[in-house]
Structure 1
Amino acid sequence: MSNQHHQDDAGAPVATPTEDALPRRFADFETLGEALDYAAEGNRGLNFHDARGTLLRPYPFAQLRLDALDYARRLIAAGIRPEDRIAIVAETGAEFAALFFGVVYAGAWPVPLPLPTSFGGRGSYIEQLRVQLSSCDPRMLIYPPELAPMAGEAAALAGVEGIDWSEFATRPAPDAPLPSADAEAIAYLQYSSGSTRFPHGVAITHRALLNNLAAHAHGMALIGTDRCISWLPWYHDMGLVGCFLSPVANQVSTDYLKTEDFARRPLAWLDLITRNTGTSISYSPTFGYDICARRMSSQTKAADRFDLSRWRLAGNGADMIRPDVMQSFVDAFADAGFPATAFLPSYGLAEATLAVSIMPPGEGIRVELVEETQLSGAANDERRPQRFRAIVNCGKPVRDMKVEIREEDGTPLPEGAIGKVWCSGPSVMVGYFRDPEATAACMVDGWLDTGDMGYMSNGYIYIVGRAKDMIIVNGRNHWPQDIEWAVEQLPGFKAGDIAAFAITTPGGEETPAVLVQCRSSDEAERLRLREEIRERVRAVTGMNCVIELIPPRTLPRTSSGKLSRAKARNLYLAGEIKPYDVAA
C-alpha cells in the first residue's frame, strides 16, 4: 500500500482534502463496489490518526480501491467464491477498509467482528468470536497481527482458517476476472450487537445499503465543505455504515480516532473537530458527549483549546438520548462556539441497515414530557405523585422509510399513542442469516418490528424505550439472557430464578436491574450471594447492576411458563415485587 503522494515538503503526511472537483453523488449507485469506483475518481479519502489526533495515514479512496482490488484477487486465488463469508476483525484502519471492499469486489460477504473489550477478558472474547463464527460459517477469519493468539484460537475452535492480515497482504494477487455484482445480492452481514449466545447476522443487500446511505446524505443535507470525524467502532452499525460506508458512497473525507484511543483521551475527538477548517459532521451515543462534558474541568475555559463553531451536525444515536447530558455538553462547550442547534437526534438499527429517522438539520433537541405511567403501561396509582420523563424527538423517517406505531396485536395506533415501532422500506434487511425463525418473529409482509416502543407526533418519532428486552448502557447492547445465564452458572441457582431488565434511574440514566429468587433465609448468606452475583454480572458485562434478592416463586410467567421480563419490570417498579432487605 503506497503512500508517497500524500506528504508535505517536510515529509509529514497530508490529509485528504475536504473539497473536491468531483461532482458529489448521493449514493445513487447499484452496488457498493461501484460507489468506491466513483469516489476513487476524486481526491477525498479516509484519514487515520493516533491517540493524540496526529495524522498517521491519509488513505485516498483511489488508493483504497487499488488495495481492495488486490485483496479481491488474493481471495479469488485462495478459492473464495461469491456468497462465501469472510470474517474480519473490525479494527479501525486502512487494512480493514481495504479487506472489507476486497471481499465485496470478490463477490463474497464481509462479516465485521468485534475487537476485545477492556473488561471482558481473553476467555469471553474467544468465546464471542467462536459463537459468531459458527453462526456465519465463514471460509476464513482475518485479523490484525496483535490479536493472533486470541483470534487464531477462536478460528481453530470454530474450524475456520485463521489468517493474520499482515501475512495475507504479502500474498501474490494474480490477475483474475471479478464476478459481476448485482444490486439484489447480499453486500455484507452485520452482527446486531446483541447476544453473545444467540447472535443474529443481519443480511443487507447492496440495494438496501445504498438506499440507506443516500437517505443519510439527503437527511443531513450534505454540503461541499462537510467532513466527517469519527471514533465509533467499525463492528457497530453506526460506525460501520454511518461513518465508514456512508463517507465512501457519498464521497466525504473522514478523520478517524480508534475507539480505544477515544476512551483514553476523549477530548482528542474535539481537537480533530477544532482543526477541521470546513464544516464537521460527527456522531456519538449520549455517553460520548457525557465523557467530554465531565472531562472539561471547570478551571479551563473550553474556548482556550477548542473551536467548535463549525460543527454543523452533532449526531446522537445508538442509545436513549438524555437531554440532561446534552445540556451539560452545551454548558461545557458553548464558550468554544458549540451551537446547540447542531445536535441531530436520530434513530436506527442494524435490521434497517442503519437510519430509520433523522432530525431535520438545525432543529436541535426537542423534548416532550410524558407521564411515567403511560410509559410503563402500569395503571396510575392515584396515591403516587405523577412523575414525568423527558422523551427526545428522534426526527422524521428518512427518505423511502415508512414508520407505524402498532398495538401488541398489530393494530395501527393513532397519533400520540405509545406502542411498538414498525418500519418498512427498501433498506430493511433481507432477514437474519440462516435463521428463518428469528426472521419470521420480527418481519411481517415487509414490515420490521423494531422491538422499540414509541409514538408519532406531527410526523416526528419519539422513542420511549424498548419492547424487546435489550439493555443498552453507554452505547453497548446487553441481552438480559446473557446476564441471567451468567448468574445461573453460580451454584444454587437455576434457569427461571433470574430476571434482568433495564430501569431508568431518577437522573435519567439506564441501568440494569437483576432480580434473583433466593431460597436462603440467612442474612449473612444473602449478603454473600448478592456480592457474588454482582461480581459475576460485572465480569460478563463490565457494568454495575442493581441486584435485588426476592422470595422464591415471585417472578411472573407467561401462559406458556416462560419468564415475563416486561411484567417483572412493571411489578418491580410498581413496588409489587418486594425484595428482601439485605443490609449493604
Structure 2
Amino acid sequence: MTEANPTILHALEAAGRGPEGFNFHSGKGVLVETASYAGLAHDARALAAKLLGAGVAPGDRVALIADTEGDFVRLFFACAYAGAVPAPMPLPMAFGGRETYLAHTRKMMECADASAAFAPAAMKDWLIEGAEGLPLRLVGVIGDLEAVEPDPRPLPTPDPDALAYLQFSSGSTRFPKGVSVTHRALMANATGISRDGLKTRAGDRCVSWLPFYHDMGLVGFMLSPIVAGLSVDYLATRDFARRPLLWLDMIARARATISYSPSFGFELAAQRAQTVDLGALDLSSWRCAGIGGDMIRPHVLRRFAERFRPNGFDARAYVASYGMAEATLALSFAPLDQGLKTETVDLDRLESENLAAAPTAGTEREREFVLCGPALPDHEIECRSPDGAALPERRVGRVFARGPSLLRDYFREPEATAETITPDGWLDTGDLGYLTGGELVITGRAKDLILVNGRNVWPQDLEWTVEAEVAGMRSGDVAVFSVDRDENEEVVALVQCRTKDETARDALAEEISKVLRLKFGTPVTVRLVGAHALPVTSSGKLSRARAREMYLAMVSTAA
C-alpha cells in the first residue's frame, strides 16, 4: 500500500489520469471492447449508486460470475465503490456438468452469505436456477440495474482495512472457503508485484488469458496493472484453450512485455506450434514470461524456449514465482533477466532424509527443481519441521510465510483460520519446500505426499515419469495419490486412455505399472479412465483430491 493510493479505488482514480486501460479480444483475436481506467471508474461509480439504491449495503457480499469481459470489471469496482465486497466465482468447466457447477456455485454463494449475484448475460438462467431459494436481493445481469433508481447519497469513503474482495480457492468443491483480502493487503501485494517483482516501467504492456476468478488472473492481471498504470489485452481462458497460439500472437501484435502462465500453458502452445507455420511471429518484446500457479516443469519451459527462439523469444525472460490466494497472490519472485535457475538433487536422499543434496557419482535417481526467488520485501518465508522449528537451508519442510499481504481470515471460518494462521501471524501454506541461498524451492503439496517404505514420495514425480517414459502419454494424463487399504497405503495411478481396444489398454496399464515399479520400487494400482476424465480445478490444475474421490467411487460401485 502507498500513502497516495491506500485502496484499489484510489489506484483506479490515479490510473484514470492516463490513457491506459483494458482491451478485450474475441476468440479470433479481434478487439471487441476497450475500457479506459477513467471510463471504468466513471461507470463503476454510477453502478455503485444503483447497487445501493437496490438495497445492497456497505459490507454486503456480491457474487460475480467472472467472465473475461468489461462488465465483470465494472461490477467488481461498482461493489468496491458501494462499500460492498465482490466475490468472483468460476465459470463452468469445459467437461463439467450443469448440475455439479450449479451446486458448487450455490455453496460459494452460501459461504459468502451473498446479498446479490450477477452473471454474464448468457448465464442468467443458470444463475437464477443456482440461486433459487437463497436470500438474495438481486439476481441477474448488469443490464437489470438500468431500471434501478440510484441512491442519491455520496458513496462511502474507502477504508484500507475493509475487505476488497473474497477469493475462493480454485480447489474448493465440497467445502469452499472464502479468502478475505483487505484493501491494505491487496495494495501491499500489488505494489510488491509491480515495483519489486516485475519492476514495471513506462512502456510495459500486459497480455493475459488467465481467468478473473483465479488469484493470478484477478490480482496479477486485473488489479496489479491498475496499480502500475499499465494496459492489458485479454483473451478469454476458453479461447486460449482452443487456440493457444493466439496468446502469443496477441503478445506479438501488442508488443507486450509481461505475460504469465502455468507450465501447462507454455506446453500447450509449444505442442500446437509443432504443426503450424508461425510466419512472422515476433516475441522479442516479451521481457517477463512469468510462471506460476502450478509446479514449474523446467523441461516443458526449455521446449517452449527452443521452439520459439527463432521467433525472438529469449529464455532469460522466464520469471519463476510462488504465491497463493491466501497471500493475495505473490510471495516470491526469481530475479529478472536470468531465466530459469534450477538445481538437481539426489531423489533418494530427498525421499528418505528430506535433504536436498547434490547428486554424487553413484546417484541413480535425480530430480530437477526450479528456484522461485527470495521473499518479496517486507515478507518472510521459513521451512519448518513437523514440530514447528525453522529448518536450515536445503532441509525440506512445511513452508510458512509472513508479511503485509496475508489474508485477514477465511470468511466466517474461525477454526480454519486458526489452523492456517499462527498466533504470531505466520501462514501455513500447505506446501513443502526448502531454501537455498535465500531462494525458495517448492517440492510439492503436503497433503499429496505419499509414504512408501519409509520414504516421502511426491506424486508429481510418478506422474511426470509416466508422461516422459510411456509412449502416447500427454501432460495431465496421470493422477497419482494414495488410499488406505487394509491398514496399508495403496498407491494409485488414474490414467487417461484414448483407445477402446482392450489389448492396447491392458498393455498400457502393464507398461505404466512396470515403469513405476522399476523407478520407485513400489507396486502401483493402475486404473484407466476415459479422455478428459481426470478432474481439474477452476484454474486448470489437476485435482488429486477429486481424482482420489473419483477412484473410491469407482471401487465402491464395482464392489
TM-score, scaled to structure 2: 0.81
- Identify the match of residue 480 of structure 2 among 488, 513, 520: 513
Q: Tell me, yes or no, if the aligned pair for 1:27 and 1:210 is still in contact at 8 Å.
A: no
Determine the structure 1 residue equivalent to 2:521: none
Counterparts of residues 288-303 of structure 1 (less than 5 Å): 288-297=265-274, 300=277, 302=278
SS at match of 1:272: helix
Query: 2:54 matched to 1:73?
Result: no
- Identify the match of residue 283 of structure 1 among 234, 257, 260: 260
SS at match of 1:204: strand
SS at match of 2:294: coil
Q: Tell me, yes or no, if the aligned pair for 2:56 and 2:116 is still in contact at 8 Å.
A: no
The CA deviation string for residues 176-232 of structure 1, in whole angstroms up to 9 with x for no partner, is 211112111111100011221011100011110000000011221111010010000
Q: Distance in 1 between matches of 2:108 and 2:192?
A: 30
- Identify the match of residue 414 of structure 1 among 392, 416, 425: 392
Structure 1 pair 210–515 and aligned structure 2 pair: CA distance change class (3 A): closer
Determine the structure 2 residue equivalent to 1:431: 409
SS at match of 2:114: coil
Counterparts of residues 532-543 of structure 1 (less than 5 Å): 534=529, 538=533, 541=536
The CA deviation string for residues 407-442 of structure 1, in whole angstroms up to 9 with x for no partner, is 111100011111111100000111100111111111
Determine the structure 1 residue equivalent to 2:453: none
After TM superposition, give the deviation of residue 299 of structure 1 in Å: 6.4
Determine the structure 2 residue equivalent to 1:148: 124
Query: 2:24 matched to 1:45?
Result: no
Structure 1 pair 436–372 and aligned structure 2 pair: CA distance change class (3 A): same
Q: Tell me, yes or no, if the aligned pair for 1:26 and 1:249 is still in contact at 8 Å.
A: no
Q: Distance in 2 between matches of 1:379 and 1:76?
A: 55
Q: Which amino acid aligns with 2:217?
A: G
Determine the structure 2 residue equivalent to 1:314: 289
- Identify the match of residue 57 of structure 1 among 33, 42, 53: 33
After TM superposition, give the deviation of residue 171 of structure 1 in Å: 3.4
After TM superposition, give the deviation of residue 298 of structure 1 in Å: 5.2
Q: Tell me, yes or no, if the aligned pair for 1:368 and 1:391 is still in contact at 8 Å.
A: yes
Moved more, 160-169 or 426-435: 160-169
Q: Tell me, yes or no, if the aligned pair for 2:317 and 2:336 is still in contact at 8 Å.
A: yes
Q: Distance in 2 between matches of 1:534 and 1:295?
A: 24
Q: Tell me, yes or no, if the aligned pair for 2:51 and 2:145 is still in contact at 8 Å.
A: no
Q: Tell me, yes or no, if the aligned pair for 1:48 and 1:56 is still in contact at 8 Å.
A: yes
Query: 2:141 matched to 1:164?
Result: yes
The CA deviation string for residues 147-179 of structure 1, in whole angstroms up to 9 with x for no partner, is 122221111154434212222245343432111
Q: Distance in 2 between matches of 1:447 and 1:90?
A: 30
Q: Which amino acid aligns with 1:206?
A: H
May I ask how many residue pairs the two structures share in their alignment? 486
SS at match of 1:329: helix
Q: Tell me, yes or no, if the aligned pair for 2:294 and 2:541 is still in contact at 8 Å.
A: no
Q: Tell me, yes or no, if the aligned pair for 1:90 and 1:235 is still in contact at 8 Å.
A: yes
Structure 1 pair 514–333 and aligned structure 2 pair: CA distance change class (3 A): same
TM-score, scaled to structure 1: 0.77
Query: 2:250 matched to 1:272?
Result: yes
Q: Which amino acid aligns with 2:21?
A: G
Query: 2:210 matched to 1:232?
Result: yes
Determine the structure 2 residue equivalent to 1:104: 80
Structure 1 pair 250–195 and aligned structure 2 pair: CA distance change class (3 A): same
Q: Which amino acid aligns with 1:237?
A: D
Determine the structure 2 residue equivalent to 1:82: 58
SS at match of 2:382: strand
Query: 2:323 matched to 1:348?
Result: yes
Structure 1 pair 196–27 and aligned structure 2 pair: CA distance change class (3 A): farther
Structure 2 gaps of 5+ residues are: 356-361, 451-457, 469-474, 487-501, 507-524, 549-554
The CA deviation string for residues 235-269 of structure 1, in whole angstroms up to 9 with x for no partner, is 00000000000111211011000111111111111
Moved more, 500-509 or 256-265: 500-509
Determine the structure 2 residue equivalent to 1:364: 339
- Identify the match of residue 255 of structure 1 among 217, 233, 250: 233
Q: Tell me, yes or no, if the aligned pair for 2:115 and 2:135 is still in contact at 8 Å.
A: no
Structure 1 pair 144–419 and aligned structure 2 pair: CA distance change class (3 A): same
Structure 1 gaps of 5+ residues are: 1-24, 472-499, 548-562, 567-579
Structure 1 pair 286–539 and aligned structure 2 pair: CA distance change class (3 A): closer
- Identify the match of residue 461 of structure 1 among 440, 453, 464: 440
SS at match of 1:42: coil
Q: Tell me, yes or no, if the aligned pair for 1:358 and 1:394 is still in contact at 8 Å.
A: yes
- Identify the match of residue 308 of structure 2 among 328, 333, 341: 333
Structure 1 pair 408–114 and aligned structure 2 pair: CA distance change class (3 A): same
Structure 1 pair 379–97 and aligned structure 2 pair: CA distance change class (3 A): closer
Q: Distance in 2 between matches of 1:518 and 1:537?
A: 27
Q: Tell me, yes or no, if the aligned pair for 1:514 and 1:546 is still in contact at 8 Å.
A: no
Structure 1 pair 240–55 and aligned structure 2 pair: CA distance change class (3 A): same
Q: Which amino acid aligns with 2:94?
A: S
Q: Distance in 2 between matches of 1:535 and 1:516?
A: 21
SS at match of 1:451: strand
Structure 1 pair 518–454 and aligned structure 2 pair: CA distance change class (3 A): closer
SS at match of 2:447: coil
Q: Which amino acid aligns with 2:326?
A: E
Determine the structure 1 residue equivalent to 2:471: none
Q: Tell me, yes or no, if the aligned pair for 1:46 and 1:254 is still in contact at 8 Å.
A: yes
- Identify the match of residue 183 of structure 1 among 135, 145, 160: 160
Alpha carbon RMSD of aligned pairs, Å?
3.2
Structure 1 pair 362–169 and aligned structure 2 pair: CA distance change class (3 A): farther
- Identify the match of residue 106 of structure 2 among 122, 130, 136: 130
Determine the structure 2 residue equivalent to 1:3: none
After TM superposition, give the deviation of residue 512 of structure 1 in Å: 1.8
Q: Which amino acid aligns with 1:197?
A: R
The CA deviation string for residues 488-520 of structure 1, in whole angstroms up to 9 with x for no partner, is xxxxxxxxxxxx96543315767422556789x
After TM superposition, give the deviation of residue 369 of structure 1 in Å: 0.7
The CA deviation string for residues 263-319 of structure 1, in whole angstroms up to 9 with x for no partner, is 111111111111124x5100000011001100112563x4x2310011010000000
Q: Tell me, yes or no, if the aligned pair for 2:86 and 2:166 is still in contact at 8 Å.
A: yes
After TM superposition, give the deviation of residue 375 of structure 1 in Å: 3.7
The CA deviation string for residues 377-424 of structure 1, in whole angstroms up to 9 with x for no partner, is 4799xxx97311110011121121111111111100011111111100
Q: Which amino acid aligns with 1:144?
A: P
